[in-house]
Amino acid sequence: MKCRVCTGPAVIDVRRHNANFCAEHFIAHCQEQVRRTIDHFSMMKPDDKVLVAVSGGKDSLALWDILSELGYQADGLYLGLGIGEYSNESTHYSRDFAERVEGHLVEIDLPTDVGFDIPTGARLARRAPCSACGLSKRHLFNQAALEGGYDVVCTGHNLDDEAAVLLGNVLRWNVDYLGRQHPVLEARPGFARKVKPLVRLAEREMAAYCVLRGIDYQVEECPMSAGNRHIGYKEALDAIEAGSPGTKAAFFHEFLDKASHLFTPESDAIRDELLECATCGSPTTGEVCAFCRLIERASNKGTSGSVAIEMGQTRS
Amino acid sequence: MQVTLRNPRRVVEVTGPIRVHALLDRLEINRESVIVICGDTLVPSDALLLDTDVVEVRPVISGGCL
């Protein structure tokens, strides 16, 4: 196979683009895809203060790398989940990468700073681990962005992530979630602006990008995610993609172009009804927000207001 | 050749020469869900792998909480 740009030996074939790339031009391709995505969706301005949600995995580290290469001033935010050796390794990869890009890595440790780890907290709260983890990430990333004065939070959700979520929402016709599924979630009172610059790049491309850029990342799957529904959706979509390259991209991006707007009013109505959490002040549909209820149940103790986050830790 | 697989991590012996896409077919792995690394080099699906190569088939599917 030959690189479609320079005709040199290719290192990767991307079937949905019917294209092969050498290392140099694949890296350029990924960076260009992100640049175009940011422009197309007006995700952020060159001088924005950017916070990248970092997990130590391929997507978030690749995103931080690409944003740095594109000239954005981005800090990282890492959330320690307390999942044994998996979390220890994820911390290591995140800190190493922060050093590499001489970036500022803000760290929150769930067991130390909030009072529970994901395995124990999920069990005590009787939630699926992935549910407790996702809820914690959304709440703490949002809180850190607001308190840190960031203009935008960037997450490493890629094309596969978004296609899998879309499939799950369609299968169950979760119309409020469909209305909210967009690469840009605008800032609202109590909510930081959130964007997903990797939605044009597949999971396989992000792994390849990291290998070619020499970025070490957490390759092992989270031990808590066995049997996770979204992974099943990804496998189903990959099976379709293997026989019909481009289906995943068409599924998600055609949804954005042709159907997303149909569900927005339903989602807006829910947003208009939000109240302030009696404990932490975050927007919520009930008296106490889901994260504060999780803290209360997961740590077997009452909530004591907003979680204080140490924003000053720099690992560089 | 030695082929390292993940989740769980294990090593299998495969006789070469064999092309990457044929290796993945033999192992019943969807090529959309992995990258293949030979030595320390990423290789495309038509690359020919030899008996002496050390190969890693690295899964790319990740995620639980979204």
Cβ atoms of B41 and A11 closer than 8 Å: yes
Nearest CA-CA partner of A194 in A52, A295, A16, A72 = A52
Distance from CA of B60 to the nearest CA of A (A): 6
Looking at residue B24, its pLDDT comes to 97
The verdict on A24 touching B (C-beta cutoff 8 Å) is no
Cβ-Cβ contacts under 8 Å for A40 (sequence gap 6 or more): none
CA-based nearest residue in chain B for residue A238: B32
- The secondary structure of residue B13, as a DSSP letter, is E
pLDDT band at A307 (very low <50, low <70, confident <90, very high): low
pTM of structure: 0.92
- The secondary structure of residue A244, as a DSSP letter, is S
Burial (CB count within 10 angstroms: exposed 0-12, middle 13-18, buried 19+), residue B28: exposed
> Phi/psi of residue A79, each to 5°?
-110, 115
Pairs of CB atoms within 8 A across A/B: 97
Looking at residue A298, its pLDDT comes to 83
Of A124-128, A153-157, B23-27, which gets the smallest average pLDDT? Answer: A124-128
Looking at residue A265, its pLDDT comes to 64
CA A117, chain centre distance (Å): 20
pLDDT band at A268 (very low <50, low <70, confident <90, very high): low
The verdict on A30 touching B (C-beta cutoff 8 Å) is no
Quote the percentage of chain A above a pLDDT of 90. Answer: 78
